[in-house]
Amino acid sequence: MVDARLDLQRRRRLGMVEAIWGEHKTGDQIIAILKRFEDAGELGLVTRVDATKADFISAALPQVRIHPHARCLTMGALPTPKGGAPEVAVISGGSSDRTVVSEATLALQCHGIGVDTVMDVGVAGLHRLLDQLPRLQTARVLIACAGMEGALPTVITGLVPQPVIGVPVSVGYGISQGGRTALEGMLASCAPGLLVTNIDNGYGAAMAALRILRGDAEDGWE
């Protein structure tokens, strides 16, 4: 028995699909929820699913697609992004941030948003980021994921005019481990206008970017 109250009107109300938090649900619960999404003709997105649970769900629902780097599942065809330059760039300080980057990227792709993923441009080698600035300047919103001291979003926000969303990542030695240092560093940033999500919240950053893009469209800034 599943007691979930699905928000099947979220797309109509907010312009986004409901995501299912998978970490603390059983495989059977997720299967039942996905079937309800399918019956409603809605795309299914499940976040935070480990490999064992993902295999169990896909065995019961072969139409489910596993996204191992993002630790996510989807059911239903992803919309095709419109042509032109990707609207969002998702940036990582290092390759250890890949899971959060992949979650944010997939969440945007579920809404038909084109994404440019720029990996491993952390501030330990600042030239790597500077080399990518022309590429970043073509996006309308930037999501910057970083662990350790979390400096990457601050640096980017000081270099480009677009909205920047910082995502602290739970990667790093000692007091950096768990992401608290990155979170507090981003919150204390001296770069004006930097937005910050909770630790490892790639999905939340993606939905913030989606709201910014939708707001621009309504204002006629496309």
Angle at 49 between CA 104 and CA 206, to 5 degrees: 15
List Cβ neighbours of 151 (8 Å cut-off, separation of 6 or more): 123, 185
List Cβ neighbours of 204 (8 Å cut-off, separation of 6 or more): 197, 198
> What CATH number was assigned to the domain covering residues 88-218?
3.40.50.1970
**How many other CB atoms are there within 10 angstroms of residue 24's CB atom?**
7
Q: Where are the domains of the chain?
A: 10-75, 88-218
Task: Give all strands (DSSP E) within the chain, no chain letters.
Answer: 19-21, 44-47, 64-67, 72-75, 88-92, 115-118, 141-146, 164-168, 195-196
One digit per residue, pLDDT tens: the chain, 222 residues? Answer: 456 777 777 878 888 888 999 999 999 999 999 999 999 889 999 999 999 999 999 999 999 999 999 999 999 999 999 888 899 999 999 999 999 999 999 999 999 999 999 999 999 999 999 999 999 999 999 999 999 999 999 999 999 999 999 999 999 999 898 999 999 999 999 999 999 999 999 999 999 999 999 886 655 544
DSSP category for residue 165: E
Pairing of strands 141-146, 164-168: parallel
Orientation of helix 51-60 relative to helix 27-39, angle to 10°:
50
CA distance linking residue 130 with residue 156, whole number of Å: 9
DSSP category for residue 174: G
Q: Against a cut of 0.85, is the pTM above it? A: yes
Length of the chain equals 222
